[in-house]
């Protein structure tokens, strides 16, 4: 039995459909990440689950029970937003205690739960500090302690690290992941940032145009995006149209030559129109002549990035592709690159 089940949720604003048939489950101890462009309806899904918004159709089940009629406070779900929403006139302790007082807990129990929650986020020494005196990262930790203190059955995090700089985001993201695992709290994490989603999720749900267009582990989704749109969303912009010349092995002819492709997303027939995606990490400078899987161009720019060089290559017809190469190649040099069949995705042109 799934802990949480969302079944066929639809929602529109001003006659504009925002969510169309959203269905997914969250299992025990699982962190599910809703990933998609801003404005796509991710927060609206969280608000519907929390009971702060009603869906036009569809249902929300908790342990097989329809909770649509249960008010937000009785659902015992924790919510945490990007803007922390801490109370500026209260100190750290009072901010964390707020939800507990609403539950009419005894003072002793409140004190105990606040101390426990602050210890979890490494903020015990800040108990009496004013929240306005804290840094962004510290405020974010207090907000997390406040969401955790009532021991929610489900934690929902809406772009919780969005206001922080990248280094802090990575550090707190790793801490958050450890905390969710340790506490065994099922969680739904919303973000538009793929790196953040990859680092935190057990399972990803990618939302596009009101629908969930792909689900899977971060590795599954990134290595096999289900459409050219998803490939672009994951930064795989090297795309070109072509036509199948043989189905097995799959060989596609394009304006840049012929390419064998080992990662077809479906079955293709000879003569079919397709879109090829060259993953940035799949190219190397050609040492030998190849009859296929080769492109020629001129280097526009080569920028060091971690242990590779992000290299922009100008090709025929004003195409510009970007590859991650092992060594730097000076601008304006002509190069020939071999593209490995394993790094080429092939999609039907109707996707
Ligand atoms: P995301 O979390 O993916 O950024 P949201 O769920 O916040 O997306 O909202 C998506 C869009 O839905 C918003 O850009 C807005 O146009 C619309 N929307 C959300 N809430 C309301 C509302 N209460 N009234 C009217 N439009 C809304």
- Only one residue has tokens 């101390």, namely 115
Residue 162 has what pLDDT?
A: 83
Domain end, chosen from 196, 215, 230, is at: 230
**Nearest atom within ligand 1 for CA of residue 207:** 3
Domain end, chosen from 193, 212, 230, is at: 230
Residue 84 has what pLDDT?
A: 64
Which residue has the least CA distance to atom 27 on ligand 1?
Answer: 13
Instruction: Look up the domain containing 223 and give its range.
Output: 2-230
Question: How many Å lie between the centroid of ligand 1 and the Cα of residue 292?
Answer: 47
157, 258: one domain: no
Which residue has the least CA distance to atom 15 on ligand 1?
Answer: 39
143, 267: one domain: no
Which residue has the least CA distance to atom 24 on ligand 1?
Answer: 13
Q: What residue ranges line ligand 1, CB within 6 angstroms?
A: 13, 18, 36, 38-44
Burial 134-150 (b: 16+ CB within 10 A, else e): beebbbbbbbbbbbbbb
63, 199: one domain: yes
In the chain, the number of structural domains is 2
212, 100: one domain: yes
Kindly report the CATH number assigned to the domain that includes residue 141. 3.40.50.300
216, 265: one domain: no
Among residues 48, 85, 80, which one has the least CA distance to residue 190?
A: 80
pLDDT tens-digit map of 81-136: 877 678 999 999 999 999 898 888 899 999 999 999 999 898 999 999 999 999 98
239, 226: one domain: no
Q: Which residues contact 184 (CB under 8 A, 6 or more apart)?
A: 28, 29
289, 261: one domain: yes
306, 343: one domain: yes
Question: How many Å lie between the centroid of ligand 1 and the Cα of residue 46?
Answer: 11
pLDDT tens-digit map of 31-50: 999 999 999 999 999 999 99
Question: How many Å lie between the centroid of ligand 1 and the Cα of residue 157?
Answer: 16
Given a cut of 70, whether residue 330 has pLDDT beyond it is yes
Pairing between β-strand 263-264 and β-strand 344-348 as defined by DSSP bridges: parallel
**Nearest atom within ligand 1 for CA of residue 36:** 3
For residue 71, what is the enclosing H or E element? Answer: none
Question: How many Å lie between the centroid of ligand 1 and the Cα of residue 189?
Answer: 17
Asked if residue 337 lies in contact with residue 278, where contact means CB atoms within 8 angstroms, the answer is no
Q: Which residues contact 288 (CB under 8 A, 6 or more apart)?
A: none
Asked if residue 145 lies in contact with residue 89, where contact means CB atoms within 8 angstroms, the answer is no
Residue 166 has what pLDDT?
A: 84
240, 287: one domain: yes
């Amino acid at each position: 039995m799934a802990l949480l089940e969302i079944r066929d949720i639809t929602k529109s604003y001003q006659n504009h459909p925002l969510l169309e048939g959203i269905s997914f489950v969250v299992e025990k101890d699982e962190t599910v990440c809703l990933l998609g462009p801003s404005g796509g309806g991710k927060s609206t899904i969280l608000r519907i689950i929390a009971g702060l918004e009603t869906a036009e159709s569809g249902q929300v089940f908790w342990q097989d029970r329809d909770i649509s009629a249960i008010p937000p406070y009785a659902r015992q779900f924790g919510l945490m937003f990007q803007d922390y929403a801490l109370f500026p006139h209260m100190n750290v302790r009072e901010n964390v205690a707020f939800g507990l007082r609403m539950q009419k807990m005894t003072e002793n129990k409140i004190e105990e739960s606040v101390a426990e929650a602050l210890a979890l986020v490494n903020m015990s020494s800040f108990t009496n500090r004013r929240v306005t005196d804290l840094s962004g990262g510290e405020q974010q930790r207090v907000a997390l302690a406040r969401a955790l203190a009532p021991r929610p059955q489900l934690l929902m995090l809406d772009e919780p690290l969005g206001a922080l700089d990248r280094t802090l985001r990575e550090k707190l993201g790793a801490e958050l992941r450890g905390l969710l695992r340790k506490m065994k709290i099922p969680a739904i994490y919303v973000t538009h940032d793929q790196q953040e989603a990859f680092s935190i999720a057990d399972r990803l749900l990618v939302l596009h145009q009101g629908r969930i267009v792909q689900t899977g582990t971060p590795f599954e989704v990134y290595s096999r995006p289900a459409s050219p749109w998803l490939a672009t969303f994951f930064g795989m912009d090297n795309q070109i149209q072509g036509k199948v010349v043989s189905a097995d092995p799959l060989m596609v002819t394009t304006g840049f030559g012929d390419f064998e492709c080992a990662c077809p997303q479906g079955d293709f027939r000879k003569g079919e129109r397709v879109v090829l995606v060259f993953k940035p990490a799949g190219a190397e400078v050609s040492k030998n002549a190849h009859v296929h899987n080769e492109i020629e161009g001129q280097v526009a720019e080569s920028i060091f990035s971690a242990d590779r060089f992000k290299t922009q290559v100008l090709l025929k017809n004003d195409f510009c592709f970007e590859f991650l190469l092992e060594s730097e190649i000076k601008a304006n040099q002509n190069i020939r690159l071999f593209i490995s069949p394993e790094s080429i995705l092939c999609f039907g042109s109707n996707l």
